[in-house]
Structure 1
Amino acid sequence: MKIKNIILLLCFLIGFNHLNAKNDGWINILNEGGNNKGILCTQAIQKSIDKASKQGGGTIFFPAGNYLTGPIKLKSNITIYLDAGALLKFSNNFDDYLPYVEMRYEGLMMKTFSPLFYAKDAENISIKGRGVIDGQGEAWWNEVYRIETAKGPIPPTKYQTMWVEQNKGIVYSPYYQRTIDKHFFRPAFFQTISCKNILIEGVTFQNSPFWTINPVFCDNITVTGITIFNPHSPNTDGINPSSCKNVHISNCHISVGDDCITIKSGRDEDGRKYGVPTENVTITNCTMLSGHGGVVIGSEMSGGIKKITISNCVFDGTDRGIRIKSARGRGGVVEDIRVDNVVMKNIKEEAFMMNLFYDKNTVEEPVSERTPIFRNIHISNVTGTDVKKAGTVLGITEMPVQNISFSNINIQSTEGFTLNTTDNVEFHDAKITTTLGASFKIENSNNLILDNVATMKPIANTPLIKLKDVSNMAVTNNFPMFATDVFLEADGAKTKAVYLKNNIFNNVTKVLKKGNDLDKNAIIE
């Protein structure tokens, strides 16, 4: 009997030690001088991170409760874990975010306030759990509003003076002058620079001072299952990888005051100097509510953006769906983009926007490193309802938007697609039902295919397709199923080699309406 009891005791002790071994590396912040009563405990948090780092890494554990902190500097092999019921708030005292550190702000490297979570040259960083992280951004937003709405000159704050002193010699484009003149640059919620192996999972971010998740020059980033909620706030983008590679974004729910997910790679000359593209990005199974765009590429894309897939997403209430934007002077190439299986509803502007005229004040210039390029972009299996405009594709004279396709698209919108200055664009199985104007309006473009395009509700005396100065185009395999007054309207002295083949026009009153400047041989039936 005694031997049996001794054996049971040994088993218990072995199990107890095994449990302790499992807990090695977990640091409860409440045991390290922190508190969950909402009293500032930045030092305790940072000391816990430093302690774990010296031991080779570990997890800083926040049990349920309210916490208040200043900026947190993350290190290699560190996990921040917020348990369900934990609320981590960041201080709204600007002094807590001094001294200034090097960071990238809207694609420009500079010194300014420390991001709320910050790391440089680290690896194996994680933020996990079911807790909430609150950036308390309202103080930052109000300061921006104060500066921007001032009527006439106002005395600079010490922060603005510091910015000027610490950023001498910074190079930026005239387009950015208005932003620079403020000399006040808010911190990102999470910005890591030159880090690798980053995981953000499960937590909720809210009230970010500026962009929320913003890794820069990083490799192997996974953001999954998080919620971002930044209501009625300026420039509070959700997830913005910048000059990163191997990025995986999935199962996220985002509602913000700017773009929900934006892919970037630096601004103008500064971005081209580093020349680091964002590449190998997957975005899947996400829902986007309020935001200027669902998934946006640019306008800071001077280092290039390539190999991006966007799939299985819902945009409900964003200003735009898929938006790709740039301007003369940016440079860089956006290419090899795939969008598939997306549902959009209540889109306040365009479902799709590809715009090389983001800065409308530029003029044509010779092709150079300053010339932005959009090419090899393919979109399929999209449904959109309650959309203001189906889409706009707008190139610049010296660089048309190239090699674009839309396949199996069904959109109900006020206005249809507008294409201007494009080359090699195809629509296959596209039903664009409008209440105002043509479903497809195409100008100054070459090498096009419209294959099985339609509207479900033809508009009286309004063409399905409207062309001007278009060449080398096939309009094929079309069968308007509903009574249609005008199928195609064409004009422009440069319009030529437009082929109408394999179409059935039994329900069309007038197949072709010719404009005054149209050459008589331009349309080949």
Structure 2
Amino acid sequence: MKFFNIHSRFYKNSLVKNILLFVIFATPTFAFAQSNYNIVECGASNKGDKAATKIINNTINKAFKSGGGTIYFPSGTYITGPITLKSNITLYLEAGATLKFSDDFDDYLPMVESRWEGIDVTNFHPLIYAYEAENIAIKGRGTLDGQGRKWWDYHHTLYSKPKTFKSKWQVEFAKQNTNVLMPDEPYMIERGFCRPPFIQPMYCKNILIEGITITNSPFWTINPEFCENINIDNVTVYNPDSPNTDGINPESCRNVHISNCKISVGDDCVTIKSGKDAAGRKMNIPCENITITNCTMLDGHGAVVIGSEMSGGIKKITISNCVFEGTDRGIRIKSTRGRGGVVEDIAINNIIMKDIKKEAIKLNMFYAKSDEEPVSERTPSFKNIHFSNISGNAYQAGFLLGLKELKIKDISFYNIRLDATKGFMIEDAEDIDFSNIVINNTEGAVISALDTKFIEINGLKTKTPVAQTPIIELTDVENALILNCNQNRKTDIFLKLDGGKTKDIYLGNNNLVQVNTEVLKTEKVNSDIIKISH
């Protein structure tokens, strides 16, 4: 008996014999340990002197055919073109290992099925790509360097050329994409030179990206599409001075966990998306069940952004325990007419925002200029979005802008402490709640609302009232409830009301002993619309 060293008399027992035979021959092949492949031993150079693309991909294919395995990169520098991952494959980069990706555009041909800014296309092969794979991972303490400068420079060059200019890559893109469902505003899709994302798994399950540093991406950095069960942990993304190099962009994915990451990029740090315009609505696959926690966002247009490509819908998102420092905006949710889709069930909690250059919080349904139109599948919707326990400083505390035909709805702010030049501006919104809010702004009102219904302000104060300026300014606002505000600094005006549609304003239990004018009304306001209870 080769498999077991056992006493023959024990083996001759028929019951034991049958059990052992069952264990031996019924054990599935996946129970055996997968293989490790040292890429240097497989023939790749770690001296940075010659390309290892074929060796890396051949080794992946060999491991895949054997049931999977780990491709191990010892310390050193590797030159490579695009890599295609297969099921049950792990890339493991030892500390000190750097994969430098080719900046020769021809290396990323032939083009493959991809998605680019929410549009389904055939495009340059991503630097690391997987299609319909399961159980894939990129791990370790090493670095992936996309060497994106050449891609960035060529992107900028195209803007200086007429749209009729066609490079060989643009010609190939046009050839491969004759039936693309174009967005309302085509931008680079129309020009036909769409830089590849760095890591783009498509239709994959069970993805782990852990520990590595990623730098100099040609375009979006980690961009899973139509994937499920994704864990991105302890990853550093650094793309300095670069166009459209978002950090982590799950798109039309579900069950995504992003944690303990540090991101500093040339666009948005983390962005959640689900397709653009008619193409996104046709696929109709939402991004859902997303958690972002314990991350630090440094530099970028937005720390965490939802949209503007959200046509398939975005829902069930939590963002917590993060630090945003030096980004243009903190939390930004954006869309426009033509997108369609619904953003809903969003919770943002325990965020420190420092030195935010524009808005700490921005919800904007008017991202691109457009004319009012009837509500249809083209109309986006934002609802049930909640912010709590946010502190720091920004140029503007908040900006909420809905559409005339469909307002932003069910937005709440609880325990917000911000120093800012400007306070909150709200327009075309409904069911907006503020509770326990301190905004220390130096220009304008703390909260200014226009064309808004059902707004409640409970426990608002500022330490920096602006001379001859109201704390709260309501214009064409219906059904406002202002309660428990404690304005204990010398203040000229507490509440200003304007607009012929303003009605049903109720003030109760406010401490306004330091306020010169409690309510200032313009001539447009009906004198009987206010109820005050001290």
Distance (whole Å) between structure 1 residues aligned to residue 185 and residue 77 of structure 2: 43
Match of residue 121 from structure 2: 110
Distance 1:271 1:153 in 2: 25
2:375 aligned to which of 359, 364, 367 = 367
Q: CA deviation at 1:174?
A: 3.0
What residue in structure 1 maps to residue 304 of structure 2? 295
Alignment partner, residue 400 of structure 2:
393
Q: For residue 279 of structure 1, give the secondary structure of its aligned residue in structure 2.
A: strand
1:434 is matched with which residue? 441
Q: SS in structure 1 opposite 2:144?
A: strand
Distance 1:248 1:448 in 2: 34
Q: How is 1:112-131 mapped onto 2 (pairs within 5 angstroms)? A: 112-131=123-142
Residue in structure 2 matched with residue 449 of structure 1 by the alignment = 456
1:257 aligns with 2:266: yes
Q: Which residue in 2 is equivalent to 1:84? A: 95
* Deviation readout 1:45-80 (Å, 9 max, x if unpaired): 001101110110000000000001000000000000
Post-superposition shift, 1:396? 0.2
Work out whether 1:174 is the aligned partner of 2:181: no
Is 1:459 the counterpart of 2:469? The answer is no
Q: 1:259 is matched by which residue type in structure 2?
A: D
Query: Matches of residues 326-341 of structure 1 in structure 2 within 5 Å?
Result: 326-341=335-350
Amino acid of the residue matched to residue 375 of structure 2?
A: V
Deviation at 1:23? 8.3
Q: Residues of 2 paired with 1:291 and 1:390: CA distance? A: 18
454-463 or 307-316, larger mean C-alpha shift: 454-463
Partner Cα distance (1:35, 1:419) in 2:
59
Decide which moves more: 186-195 or 155-164.
155-164
Partner of 1:156: 166
Letter of the structure 1 residue corresponding to residue 135 of structure 2? N
2:267 counterpart letter in structure 1: D
The superposition leaves residues 409-451 of structure 1 with CA deviations (integer Å, 9 ceiling, x where unpaired) of 0010000100000000000001111111111010000001000
SS in 1 for 2:492: strand
Q: Which AA in structure 2 matches 1:402?
A: K
The one-character-per-residue Cα deviations of 1:497-522 (angstroms, maximum 9, x if unpaired) are 01011111111111111112111112
Partner in structure 2 of residue 476 of structure 1: 483
User: How far did residue 483 of structure 1 move?
Assistant: 1.1
Q: Deviations over 1:3-46 (max 9, x none)?
A: xxxxxxxxxxxxxxxxxx99861100001111101121100000
1:53 aligns with 2:86: no
Match of 1:236 in 2: 245
Query: What is the CA distance between 1:153 and its match in structure 2?
Result: 5.5
**What is residue 381 of structure 1 aligned with on the other side?**
389
Matched, 1:281 2:290: yes
Give the number of aligned pairs: 501
Question: In 2, Cα distance between the equivalents of 1:354 and 1:390?
Answer: 12
In structure 1, what is the Cα distance between the partners aligned to 2:191 and 2:504?
53
Question: Secondary structure, in 3 states, of the residue corresponding to 1:439?
Answer: strand
Could you tell me which of 69, 86, 105 is aligned with 1:94? 105
Superposition deviation, residue 154 in structure 1: 6.1
- Quote the Cα distance in structure 2 between the aligned partners of 1:22 and 1:168: 47
1:247 and 1:459 map into 2 onto residues whose CA distance is 44
CA distance in 2, matches of 1:28, 1:83: 11
Shift in Å, 1:175: 1.8
In structure 2, the residue corresponding to 1:281 is in which secondary structure?
strand
Question: Which residue number in structure 2 is paired with residue 14 of structure 1?
Answer: none
Q: Is the 8 A contact 2:34 2:70 kept in 1?
A: no
Instruction: Measure, in 2, the Cα distance between the counterparts of 1:322 and 1:103.
Output: 28
CA distance, structure 1, for counterparts of residue 179 and residue 529 of structure 2: 56
Corresponding position of 2:223 = 214
Residues 457 and 138 of structure 1: CA distance in aligned 2, closer, same or farther (over 3 Å): same
State the alpha-carbon separation in 2 of the partners of residues 307 and 23 from structure 1.
Answer: 37
Q: Is the 8 A contact 2:451 2:477 kept in 1?
A: yes
Partner of 2:494: 487
* Sequence identity (%): 53
Return the alpha-carbon distance in structure 2 between the equivalents of residues 46 and 169 of structure 1: 31
On the 8 A contact 2:99/2:144 being kept in 1, the answer is yes
After superposition, give the CA deviation of every residue in 1:318-353 in whole Å (9 maximum; x if it has no partner). Answer: 000000000011000000000000000111110001
Q: Secondary structure at 1:421's aligned position in 2? A: strand
The Cα of 1:454 is off from its aligned counterpart by 1.0
State how far apart, in whole Å, the 2-side matches of 1:319 and 1:79 are.
Answer: 36
Unaligned runs of 5+ in 1: 1-20
SS at match of 1:378: strand
Q: Shift in Å at residue 462 of structure 1? A: 1.1
Deviation at 1:364, TM superposition (A): 1.3
Q: Aligned equivalents of 2:530 and 2:123: distance in 1? A: 59
Amino acid at match of 1:293: G
- 1:186 Cα deviation from its structure 2 partner: 0.5
Is 1:64 the counterpart of 2:61? The answer is no
3-state secondary structure, aligned to 2:493: strand
Equivalence map 1:34-49=2 (5 Å): 34-38=44-48, 39-49=50-60
Deviations 1:139-197 (A, max 9, x none): 100110110123x4564110000011110021223322x32332100000000110000
Structure 1 segments of 4+ aligned residues over 2 angstroms from their partners: 21-24, 152-155, 178-181
Equivalent AA in structure 1 for residue 150 of structure 2 = A
Which position in structure 2 is the counterpart of 1:515? 522
Q: CA RMSD, aligned part only?
A: 1.2
Secondary structure of residue in 1 paired with 2:107? helix
Whole-Å separation in 2 of the counterparts to 1:34 and 1:175? 44
| Secondary structure of residue in 1 paired with 2:487 | coil
1:104 partner SS: strand
**What CA distance in whole angstroms lies between the structure 2 residues aligned with 1:159 and 1:483?**
65
List aligned pairs for 1:300-315, cutoff 5 A.
300-315=309-324
- 2:168 matches 1:183: no
User: Aligned partner of 2:173: which letter?
Assistant: W
- In 1: Cα distance, 2:150 partner to 2:531 partner: 64
Aligned mates of 1:175, 1:420 — CA distance in 2: 25
Q: In 1, distance between residues paired with 2:531 and 2:208? A: 57
**1:203 matched to which residue of 2?**
212
Please tell me whether the aligned partners of residues 163 and 191 of structure 2 are also in contact (alpha carbons under 8 angstroms): no
1:26 and 1:173 map into 2 onto residues whose CA distance is 45
3-state DSSP of counterpart to 1:424: strand
Q: TM-score, with normalisation over the residues of structure 2?
A: 0.93
Within-5 A mapping of 1:345-356: 345-356=354-365
Query: What is the CA distance between 1:311 and its match in structure 2?
Result: 0.1
Q: Distance between the aligned counterparts of 2:390 and 2:163, measured in 1? A: 49
Q: Which amino acid aligns with 1:308?
A: I
Paired residue type of 2:315: K
Return the alpha-carbon distance in structure 1 between the equivalents of residues 332 and 292 of structure 2: 14
Matched AA of 1:75: K
1:349 partner letter: K
Q: 1-side partners of 2:364 and 2:348: how far apart?
A: 17
Q: Does 1:28 align with 2:38?
A: yes
Pairing 1:128-147 to 2, within 5 Å after superposition: 128-147=139-158
Selected match of 2:425 from 418, 423, 446: 418
